[in-house]
Amino acid sequence: MVTAGNSAKETGTAAGVSDIREKPCGNWPKDDCCNYAPAPKQAERYRPGRVGTWGRAGLAKAHCNVALMPIAWFHFISFLIIFFLMLFRYSKSFFLALSLLATAGAVQAQQNFRPGYVVKTEGDTLRGQVQVRGAHRSEALCRFRPNSEAGTVDYKPAALRGYGLANGQRYETRLVPTTDSLGRPAQRQLFLEPLVSGRASLYTRRDAFDEVHYYLYLAQAGAGPVQELENRVVRRIYTANEAPEVIPVYRKTLSEAFRDCFAVQPSLPKLEYTASSLAAVVRRYNACSEPEAVFKSKDTGGPKRQGATVAFGVAGGVARTSMKFQGEISLRNGTFTSVSPLFGVYFTSTFPELNRNLELRVDALYQKLDYNDSYVARGFSSVDLREQASLQFQRLAVPLQLRYYFRTNTLRPYVYAGVNGNYLLSYATQLRSEYTAGGVPVVTNKEAVNPAIVSKTDFGVLGGAGLSLGVGKRAIGLELRAERNGGFVSSPTISAPIIQYGGGVSFQLF
């Protein structure tokens, strides 16, 4: 049974609901229609339990949701209609453009193959076509096919010694120091592009962030990893406005690696971090240090260095020689000079275990010395003697020299010093003396030098400097030389030292 009060309340409740439907946002704060809360007085009147389990706020939210749903559906259906109309209208152009892009991609993929080759780990070379994959992608994979009709084969660095293109671009497999996913030091085989090859090799690569890296490899390292030439950039957190500090670690790395070549050391403190600068200093080092043959020892399997290298060639030159007599002999009044050629052969040997820049050289040179002079001899008789002396010596000079090369590049300066031994092959001397006695001229002819004081051997010292120009596997040398010998005339009271200055040229035969 329902009382009048209850009926009135329920009538009021129903009226409240009707009021909510007509003015859903009329008596609530204007924040968000779907999050309205009833005003304080109405909250008491329409608290939960009076209108089912929602209350007035719940009825308002439900009413808002119901009111927004038709609008959302209207927009969604409109979008679908417009999309299909546009697709139907432009479908031909769309699919045509899509097919053209696919065709262009396929053609481009075909065009990326260029004539090239791969070198297997066994040393076999396969020629065909190599895909050009870009600087970063080329370091991890080589895609090869024998011809345009054949299928492609993917090679990783471990499967090849290297690969290259017919235009000269090539890559070699090297072990590169890197880090693993946890930041620990690790090593990885990659294809690196060589910039300089030799006893010291320079490589480069470009990483995934488009940063260029340079690496140094020394032949004595064998199968070891390359060394990265770092130009380290340090950014300090507490100096945000300050420019980052650049630490040229690569200069120290090169200095330690090239410590056996003094000629390149002065250029390292200011060496720039560019491909051209790094390549230039590596080439200078290779010229400074003779490449050594490295091969596998059958006994140990380790690297074994080749011993001393020898060379043989021909040499020649022109020299000015002066012989000055000293002691109790009339020839001391004369001045004896000779300009004569000399020619012969030479033999050289290096000492790589001691110093790669040192070289021992032995020459065998033939030279003919021809001296002539006229003078007045005083103090040997009561009258002055007018003398004409002619002296001829044929000798074989055997200079032994120790040379030091400053091997900065193909043109290598050097200095040397040593001892000189001479063997007298033959000689002839004549002295014509003329004086007046009682108004009558008197002429005598005799040997200028007593054969008893002529020695068959002669020794001395020498020194000089020159330039050696590498021509392929051979060398041409230009030099200046000075030497002083004791001379072939010697006795307790007489001597005739020989001083010689000259220039020469040599050519290596093998």
For every residue of 234-271, DSSP letters joined together read: E--TT-TTSPPEEE-HHHHHHHHHTTT-GGGGGGSTT-
Q: Is the dihedral of CA 322, 387, 490, 450 positive or negative?
A: positive
What confidence category does residue 506 fall into, taking pLDDT thresholds of 50, 70 and 90? very high
Residues 6 or more apart whose Cβ sits within 8 Å of residue 251: 268, 269, 271
Q: Which residue has the tokens 């300066």?
A: 413
Q: Is the pLDDT of residue 96 over 80?
A: no
d(CA 195, CA 277): 11
- For residue 92, pLDDT beyond 90: no
Residue 67 phi/psi, 5-degree rounding, is -70, -30
Residues 373-406: pLDDT tens digits?
888 887 666 677 888 889 999 999 999 999 998 8
Taking the C-alpha atoms of residue 372 and residue 338, their distance in angstroms, rounded to an integer, is 8
Which of 17-21, 58-62, 197-201, 258-262 is predicted least confidently? 17-21
Which is more confidently placed, 76 or 262? 262
Q: Starting at the edge strand that comes first in sequence, how are the strands of the sheet with 142-145 ordered?
A: 153-155, 142-145, 125-131, 113-120, 160-165, 170-179, 185-196, 200-206, 212-218, 227-229
How far is residue 481's CA from residue 319's CA, in Å, rounded to a whole number? 9
Contacts of 352 (CB under 8 A, 6+ apart): 290, 292, 305, 306, 307, 308, 309
- Mean model confidence pLDDT for the chain: 77
Q: Please tell me the predicted confidence (pLDDT) of residue 191.
A: 92
CA 198 to chain centre: 9
Does residue 20 surpass a pLDDT of 80?
no
Rounded to whole angstroms, the Cα distance separating 461 from 339 reads 20
Stretch (H or E) spanning 84: helix 55-111
Please give the pLDDT value at position 220: 77
* Ramachandran assignment for 66, one of left (phi > 0), alpha (psi -120 to 50 degrees), beta (any other): alpha
Closest CA to 342 of 360, 366, 369: 366
Q: 310-508: what fold?
A: Porin (2.40.160)
Assigned token pair, 160? 């090849």
Instruction: Specify whether the CB–CB gap between 420 and 399 falls below 8 A.
Output: yes
- How do the domains of the chain map onto residue ranges? 1-111, 169-288, 310-508
Strands 385-405 and 411-437: antiparallel
- Taking 60 as the threshold, does the pLDDT of residue 124 lie above it? yes
pLDDT tier at 33 (50, 70, 90 boundaries)? very low
pLDDT score at 87: 56
Nearest C-alpha neighbor of 461 from the set 498, 495, 408: 498
Q: Which of 133, 267, 259, 124 is nearest to 191 (CA)?
A: 133
* Statement: residue 287 has pLDDT above 80: yes
For residue 78, what pLDDT is reported? 73
Q: Per-residue pLDDT for 439 more than 70?
A: yes
What residues contact 355, with CB distance under 8 A and at least 6 apart?
Answer: none
Whole-number pLDDT of residue 86: 64
Query: Counting beta carbons within 10 angstroms of the beta carbon of residue 499, is it exposed (0 to 12), middle (13 to 18) or buried (19 or more)?
Result: middle
CB neighbour class for 299 (10 Å; exposed up to 12, middle 13-18, buried from 19): exposed
What percent of the chain has pLDDT above 90? Answer: 34
Higher pLDDT, 183 or 488: 488
